[in-house]
Structure 1
Amino acid sequence: MSNVPSSSSEPSSSKVDFNVDGLVASQREDEGLFARDIDGQLIRVEKATATELEENVTLTIDGREVTVKKAQPTRDSQGNILRGEDGLPIPRPTTIYDAASEAFVRKPGDPHPIATLCHKEHLPPVGVCRVCVVEATEMTRRGPRSRLVPSCVQRVTNDMVVSTLRSEADPAAAARVKTASQTVIELLMADHLPENQTDAPGNELAAIAKSMGVAQSRFSPPPISRGQDDSSKMILVDHDQCILCGRCQRGCNWVKENKVIGRGEKGYATRISFDLDDPMGQSSCVSCGECAVSCPTGALQFQPSFIDTQLKRVRDDMIAGKKDGDIVGADELIKYPLFSGIPYKFLQFNGAAVVRRVLAKDDVLCREGEYGSTAFIILKGEFEIFLSSTRGAVRNKSVGGLRGLFGGLKTVVEKVGGKARLADVGAASLSEDQRILRNEEDVILGEMTCLNRYPRSATVVSTGEAEVLEIKRNVLHMLQRNAVSRDILDRVYRERSLRGQLSGLPIFNPLDDASKDKAAEFLKDKADLITVDPGQIIFRQGENADNYYVNRLGFVKVTQAYGRNERVLNYLGPGNGFGEIGLLSSMGNQFGSPVGTDSVAGVRTATCTALDHVELIRIRGEDFRELLETFPDLRNALATKAKEILSRDEEARGRLQAVEADEYLDQGLYLAQSLLVLDLERCTRCDECTKACADTHDGVTRLVRDGLRFDKFLVASSCRSCMDPYCLVGCPVDAIHRNGDSLEIEIEDYCIGCGLCAENCPYGNINMHGFPKQEVNESGKLVTVYEELDGGKLPVVQQRATTCDLCRSVDGKPSCVYACPHEAAFRMTGEQLLEMTKRTN
């Protein structure tokens, strides 16, 4: 402030003009845009508002006019919209980087005009590396004002003109941006890029330097070395290559929520740290690999020995399982446009996550009724989709006889009545002369089963020679981090599956096939896809009815208030529609078909709440009403159904409540397909069940004779084979999945022991079991690996997840059930337990 000129002899601070055009005001405006958080990182002060989600902003980037929303919904790492307590999206400002992505990156492989190191679209921006600098010109009272700004945090404004280093519209501005970016890159190279890393695959700093034509840095290296940390058996830490971009911190703390990585020291010595500055191998790190996958340099790399060991385990599993196909390595995969947005280190970490399969004519790609943990990227060829009139469902059935009555199981495929619901390929029912064909233009097959963990709903057969890439669930999750790849998956779903699901909705049963197709076509571009978190209310009793919903995935609880009490009326699984009563009642007089008895027109008659992670198809009220105007048969059928629901007597409405429906739903029993149930009136607590389990599985028991009570039964802590198993979500190496032919959850030998599956299981049915690490020596003999500790040798202990597989790995006969001397142990579904409770009451 003392540098501001003043004509007065008085102190300058008393004469400073703080108007908008003044120098001090300009400086204050610049500094006021940012603040520092507790980590010392720059963050924006101003927050986006909900109204800005609907406001358009038009700007120009490299001569191209772009129109975007002033704010965007905040998303998690998988692209799901984050919502506040009111259920509304949490807005965040649209940045220049966002606008450039929308304008220039239309398909996988399209180059982004703005380079960046510290930012990834699935992470919250921090703006610390300054590699993404652009020149932004805005109008002020004094005329145009140009500044170099970091594009990942600078929000867009109307009539803003942006020039990147690739701008042909303004070469002078492009030169200024390029000079600034090259200087930043040179500084980073001098401090953090060793000579042996200049061509290293996956090193983003080296790649950006090469793209900018920077071969070497003009600046001197730092005066000190920050050292290396090789204490982890999985990840090598080279602090000298760390650029302090914070991507590993956000990956660990925000994406995985492990809260392990922070920062330590000051000045040149500043580096990432683990817990309270412990070596990585001695910290609480769970070795999920997210930090190494996020790192843009060689600061965090997977140990070569770990990569080789993991690859060998996966190859051995493929050979043991007699699975066909060739493993596609990271160096080849990264050349495919669809995989260009996936970090090289992730592909390296999951060295066998993608398999190339070559099929001849009439080869089966996947079968209806199977559980699948993979999806298929179509490279060439054509596939035909086949449906049966009934859908196959894999179930555990009694083997018969007295022992079978009390728990003996065999795995069979039952036929479940009703038309097939084709979640994977987009048609609910077909006439005999109708065919569904898919080719490389459709990009992907089987993605819905891979994501929602339900059985495959169709059989896919090649019509000629074909080639696909079979990818695991964790690769598909990584694809969803990239907006362009995610848009492709959403488009494929909307064009195929959404239309098929709409035409197969139960509400359309009164219509003929032609009318179903017409109704589905009408709704295809009007329906919204929304996600609802567990416990979130979709709508409340007494609210105005505005939308109709179709449950695509998960379970919804329907409750109704009676005075001070609330009763559970129903719970709705995938494929069910709800919300029609309130909409129909508002149209009763218009159509001459009133549906309410005591209900208020246009008001919700019940409360609907998500029991777990629910995905819904939402049809807006005005579109729903237009649909009913077009199809009178549909209107009349829905009105009849609504009358039946509203005229149920008190006894019928309380049916579920009479058998403790609250506990049944709260304990998640409705999802269970294979509960271990102990009859406490027979059980003598002899523990023969747990002993038999431990004896069968080499001393490691997979059940605990403890758990939740339901009526007179104890639901023991043993894998339930849930219909929608949370344990499968997020495994970094896809080592846990459901058996392709049955219900059992399997954990492969290449499990890295990160514990995410155990944490995700809401019932505590997955345990982490430690065991000494063993390797094959030069003689081909399996030996225990030891490490020096306090002058002695101790085995290197690692852990692995274990869970009940219904003894499928042994003989398929649950030892816990067969060992019970009092016939008190049973294996059954949640529905069977509910029915048994009804009978005993």
Structure 2
Amino acid sequence: MSNEIDPKDVASVNFDISDLPGQVVAEQEGLFARDVDGQLVRVHKASASELDEDVTLTIDGREVTVKKAVPTRDSQGNIIRDATGAPKPRYTTIFDATSEVFVREPGDEHPIPTLCHKEHLPPVGVCRVCLVEATEMTRRGPRKQLVPSCVQRVSNGMIVNTIKSETDKDAAVRVKAASQTVVELLIADHLPSSQWSAPGNELASIARRMEIKESRFAPRSLERGHDDSSKMIAVDHDQCIMCGRCQRGCNWIKGNNVIGRGGKGYESHIAFDLEDPMGQSTCVSCGECAVSCPTGALQFQPSFIETQIKRVRDDMVAENKDGDIVTADELIHYPLFSGIPYKFLQFNGAAVVRRILKEGDVLCREGEYGSTAFIILSGEFEIFLATTRGAVRNRSAGGLFGWLGGLKTVVEKVGGRAKLADVSAAQLSEDQRILRNSDDVILGEMTCMNRYPRSATVVATQDAEVLEIKRNVLYMLQRNEVSREILDRAYRKYSLTGQIESLPIFDSLGESERKQAAEFLRDKADLISVDPGQVIFAQGDQADNYYVNKLGFVKVTQKYGRDERVLSYLGPGNGFGEIGLLSSIGDTLSESLGGTVRPGVRTATCSALDHVELIRIRGEDFRNLLAQFPELKDSLAAKAKVILEKDQEARSRLQAVESEDFLDQGLYLAQSLLVLDLERCTRCDECTKACADTHEGVTRLVRDGLRFDKFLVASSCRSCMDPYCLVGCPVDAIHRDGDSLEIAIEDYCIGCGLCADNCPYGNINMHGFPKQEVDASGKLKTVYQEVEGKKMPVVQQRATTCDLCRSVDGKPSCVYACPHEAAFRMTGPELLEITKRGDAAG
């Protein structure tokens, strides 16, 4: 068994040595240390039950109640889960509890200084700068001790005094003296005079905070040397304090496993691979080690920074783009960037560009792909769709998708210009303009995080200034607690209430009641992040929360035996999870839901398809809402009953599949295949012609595709159970057609082509049409452009797919046009059954 300890699991637990068998006492004494009460201390992992167990302690005279354990989080603040989807717990430390009490506003100074610890790294407690005085009750009475707060777990009745304590000033003096001694020792050996005022040197910053002007201790004479072999990072081993932050950044965050430790005693140093120079090691130059380093031991080479900035400037000139690169020295003064490591801003000095816009300038256009977001510094922006077909509004979708809380985007005429009613999770009434300013902080984060097309066009309504940031900068903003709080606070203040108010579950309420319900839930909601592929809740789990999707897409699946069906993909603005909560409210309500649902149990699995941000509302708060609005409860119960009835019907139709080829071709998941019997088909192509004639010359099928037995499965929409084409549409122009589950594409499609790219069978096509605009008189006119001296119409594109002619008369033209009865529409299982029997299709 390995003796290596994962730093994420480090915490102390006490047990009485007298409880151990006599023959193992000596071994235990050799392996573990004793605490102040004479008990052994060993490594112990927190349990899931301790996530709900309260601990009350006193910090600097203030009584604090926290959970005994908290979920372990990754570098982005996301909860780390095990294979079952349950959060991995870790013990709450004194540093955690102090943060919860004293760091309430962005920029608040933490009363406990740290060097080796950062909120996004597993704590190791090696530098001892974060010392506090902790008093615990033992069998011999109260005992005081200096402990590292980043690894010391909290306990009931514990009394903690920090360097800032006003209630016990003697304790504060003792803590400060101990911390100062540690800092002075580090300064003597690792802080040259040139680094005292260097930006980003945390050791120098802590020295200034503790009013240390020089060290009382003489520096050592041993030199560990420099390593300039890397073109990107310069290594000064003499400044290294062996805090391990570079090692944890390289190995735990990035997973590169390049950095370790070498040597012993004063010769201890960080090592790359097997003591190779950094430039000759397997280092991938991600920069995480230098960003993590709190001293000058790892710094970016000046030539690397200059080359990076020059390259970006040259690209901007070549592409005729306006803007100025914002340096790290400038960024560090913006509140949003105040908590970001200086070295990261230095490393990404070309990743932030200042843009100045005049009234009427376009910030971004709908349908464009982008990898940037925009921090609004000043000015105001209007957000709208550039379509001329009317205003785009979110309404409750019909059929199964709607019952699941889905939003269907519909088109309504509003004056001569279309306005978008849902942008970045902000819902506005029809008579409002959609405006954004610096109070909203950020625009475009969904495209930046998940690489989706821009969902709208953004135009400056007055002179404005923004910072355009790349994806890696946005990731760092979400990693940092101060920056994340600024973003979340702006969202809560300006967008959260509107998004909750617009949820389809409130359709049965009047306008005033909707506002009351939204206000009731707003203050009870919290924001969480979910990684791609991570399960939010699984079918069969106990229902505990209701969720609203803020960012990204959520996949909803249901499993019957060995078969799994995708019900839908929920985009931003959709709520989910109400069925499990409804079924737990009394026997009468459970019976009204069909009697087939176990009370309080999830009926489907919801997982993150990409980076997802969720609004979480506790189950108890949701039930209190239903008690306050009885009509809401009745409406939701009726909708849930319809969902469950449809699920029962679908379950009865599913059957086991044995053909591997059939599964490999994805045919079993198809609900509407166009199948051609090749023994009857004469290749007359009448099916394709009929499709084109029916749909204004644009065919929706190709007489080619996969072969299965004697049948050709033509390239035409299959109405898959797992429709990849629905994922990511920026304006929800493609969705299920309610009862039939056919795929429908609305005419306000912006032509980004994402659905066509996502379809694995090539069954969605893009076709062009002349662009039209509304002129001053309110009439549509074709837009022209000059091409080689000729006036040519501007061509837009739109996605098309087969809808079984439901937009015409509901009778598939391709089937009825076949003169040889060789074309048929059928489900995947029906095709499999026919091939097994050896019958002709019919």
Question: What is the 5 A alignment of 1:356-505?
Answer: 356-386=354-384, 417=410, 424-432=423-431, 434-505=432-503
State how far apart, in whole Å, the 2-side matches of 1:171 and 1:613 are: 47
Residue equivalent to 2:632: 631
Counterpart of 2:565 (choices 543, 565, 568) is 568
Q: How much does 1:234 deviate?
A: 0.7
Residue equivalent to 1:345: 343
Is the Cα–Cα contact under 8 Å of residues 135 and 149 in structure 1 kept in the other structure? yes
Residue equivalent to 2:197: 199
Spell out, residue by residue over 1:191-249, the C-alpha distance to the aligned partner (whole angstroms, 9 max, x if none).
21222222221111122222222222232322321111111111111111111000000
Is the Cα–Cα contact under 8 Å of residues 509 and 631 in structure 2 kept in the other structure? no
Partner letter of residue 279 of structure 1?
P
Distance 1:255 1:666, change over 3 A: farther
1:296 and 2:294 are equivalent in the alignment: yes
Residue equivalent to 1:252: 250
Is the Cα–Cα contact under 8 Å of residues 383 and 423 in structure 2 kept in the other structure? no
Distance 1:133 1:830, change over 3 A: farther
State how far apart, in whole Å, the 1-side matches of 2:491 and 2:236 are: 43
State how far apart, in whole Å, the 2-side matches of 1:192 and 1:154 are: 27
Residue equivalent to 2:743: none
Is the Cα–Cα contact under 8 Å of residues 229 and 278 in structure 2 kept in the other structure? yes
Counterpart of 1:78 (choices 76, 79, 91) is 76
Is the Cα–Cα contact under 8 Å of residues 549 and 619 in structure 1 kept in the other structure? yes
Q: Secondary structure at the match of 1:66?
A: strand
Q: Secondary structure at the match of 1:338?
A: helix
State how far apart, in whole Å, the 2-side matches of 1:456 and 1:656 are: 40
Residue equivalent to 2:125: 127
Distance 1:498 1:326, change over 3 A: same
State how far apart, in whole Å, the 2-side matches of 1:710 and 1:109 are: 64
Which ranges in structure 1 are unaligned for 5 or more consecutive residues? Answer: 1-15, 17-23, 36-43, 393-414, 670-708, 726-739, 745-762, 764-826
Is the Cα–Cα contact under 8 Å of residues 79 and 530 in structure 2 kept in the other structure? no
Q: Secondary structure at the match of 1:480?
A: helix
State how far apart, in whole Å, the 1-side matches of 2:237 and 2:322 are: 42
1:280 and 2:278 are equivalent in the alignment: yes
Q: Secondary structure at the match of 2:282?
A: coil
> Higher mean Cα deviation, 624-633 or 258-267?
624-633
State how far apart, in whole Å, the 2-side matches of 1:332 and 1:723 are: 39
Q: Secondary structure at the match of 2:639?
A: helix
Distance 1:830 1:623, change over 3 A: farther
Partner letter of residue 101 of structure 2?
A
Is the Cα–Cα contact under 8 Å of residues 327 and 350 in structure 2 kept in the other structure? yes
Residue equivalent to 2:836: none
> Higher mean Cα deviation, 454-463 or 256-265?
454-463
Spell out, residue by residue over 1:51-73, the C-alpha distance to the aligned partner (whole angstroms, 9 max, x if none).
33233333333344433322221
Q: Secondary structure at the match of 1:648?
A: helix
Residue equivalent to 2:643: 642
Spell out, residue by residue over 1:345-402, the C-alpha distance to the aligned partner (whole angstroms, 9 max, x if none).
111111122233334445444444444433333334444444675569xxxxxxxxxx
Q: What TM-score comes out, normalization by structure 1 length?
A: 0.67
Is the Cα–Cα contact under 8 Å of residues 581 and 642 in structure 1 kept in the other structure? no
Partner letter of residue 49 of structure 1?
S
Residue equivalent to 1:776: none
State how far apart, in whole Å, the 2-side matches of 1:834 and 1:225 are: 78
1:554 and 2:560 are equivalent in the alignment: no
Residue equivalent to 2:56: 58
Spell out, residue by residue over 1:448-505, the C-alpha distance to the aligned partner (whole angstroms, 9 max, x if none).
4433433444444444444333322222211222223222323333444444443444
Residue equivalent to 1:109: 107
Distance 1:439 1:571, change over 3 A: closer
Q: What TM-score comes out, normalization by structure 2 length?
A: 0.67
Q: How much does 1:527 deviate?
A: 4.8
1:157 and 2:155 are equivalent in the alignment: yes
Distance 1:317 1:642, change over 3 A: same
Is the Cα–Cα contact under 8 Å of residues 203 and 297 in structure 1 kept in the other structure? yes
State how far apart, in whole Å, the 1-side matches of 2:799 and 2:659 are: 19
Distance 1:641 1:215, change over 3 A: same
Is the Cα–Cα contact under 8 Å of residues 106 and 484 in structure 1 kept in the other structure? no
Distance 1:162 1:591, change over 3 A: closer
State how far apart, in whole Å, the 2-side matches of 1:317 and 1:258 are: 30
State how far apart, in whole Å, the 2-side matches of 1:569 and 1:649 are: 12
Q: How much does 1:125 deviate?
A: 0.7
Partner letter of residue 148 of structure 1?
L
Q: How much does 1:95 deviate?
A: 1.7
Is the Cα–Cα contact under 8 Å of residues 58 and 157 in structure 1 kept in the other structure? yes
Distance 1:497 1:171, change over 3 A: same
Partner letter of residue 574 of structure 1?
G
Q: Secondary structure at the match of 1:113?
A: coil
Question: What is the 5 A alignment of 1:698-717?
Answer: none
Q: Secondary structure at the match of 2:49?
A: helix
Partner letter of residue 642 of structure 1?
I
Counterpart of 1:313 (choices 301, 311, 314) is 311
Counterpart of 2:34 (choices 28, 37, 57) is 28
Is the Cα–Cα contact under 8 Å of residues 352 and 468 in structure 2 kept in the other structure? yes
Q: How much does 1:283 deviate?
A: 1.0
State how far apart, in whole Å, the 1-side matches of 2:480 and 2:120 are: 7
Q: Secondary structure at the match of 1:298?
A: coil
State how far apart, in whole Å, the 2-side matches of 1:97 and 1:582 are: 37
State how far apart, in whole Å, the 1-side matches of 2:668 and 2:447 are: 25
Distance 1:367 1:497, change over 3 A: farther
State how far apart, in whole Å, the 2-side matches of 1:598 and 1:146 are: 59
Partner letter of residue 631 of structure 1?
L
Is the Cα–Cα contact under 8 Å of residues 580 and 638 in structure 1 kept in the other structure? no
Is the Cα–Cα contact under 8 Å of residues 571 and 728 in structure 2 kept in the other structure? no
State how far apart, in whole Å, the 1-side matches of 2:590 and 2:211 are: 75
Spell out, residue by residue over 1:499-542, the C-alpha distance to the aligned partner (whole angstroms, 9 max, x if none).
44434444555666555544444443445555555555555555
Q: Secondary structure at the match of 1:259?
A: coil
Residue equivalent to 1:811: none
Question: What is the 5 A alignment of 1:585-604?
Answer: 590=588, 594-596=592-594, 604=602
Residue equivalent to 1:354: 352
State how far apart, in whole Å, the 1-side matches of 2:194 and 2:354 are: 32
Is the Cα–Cα contact under 8 Å of residues 367 and 752 in structure 2 kept in the other structure? no
Q: How much does 1:290 deviate?
A: 0.2
Partner letter of residue 77 of structure 1?
S
Distance 1:661 1:335, change over 3 A: farther
Q: How much does 1:163 deviate?
A: 2.6
Question: What is the 5 A alignment of 1:790-809?
Answer: none
State how far apart, in whole Å, the 1-side matches of 2:662 and 2:607 are: 14
Q: Secondary structure at the match of 2:34?
A: helix
Which ranges in structure 2 are unaligned for 5 or more consecutive residues? Answer: 1-21, 23-29, 394-407, 413-418, 671-705, 716-723, 730-749, 755-759, 761-796, 806-813, 815-824, 832-842
State how far apart, in whole Å, the 1-side matches of 2:498 and 2:82 are: 32
Spell out, residue by residue over 1:611-668, the C-alpha distance to the aligned partner (whole angstroms, 9 max, x if none).
5555555555555565472336733761464265246356976899999997689999
State how far apart, in whole Å, the 1-side matches of 2:90 and 2:378 are: 41
Is the Cα–Cα contact under 8 Å of residues 56 and 157 in structure 2 kept in the other structure? yes
Is the Cα–Cα contact under 8 Å of residues 507 and 638 in structure 1 kept in the other structure? no
Distance 1:482 1:663, change over 3 A: farther
Partner letter of residue 629 of structure 1?
P
Is the Cα–Cα contact under 8 Å of residues 588 and 595 in structure 1 kept in the other structure? no
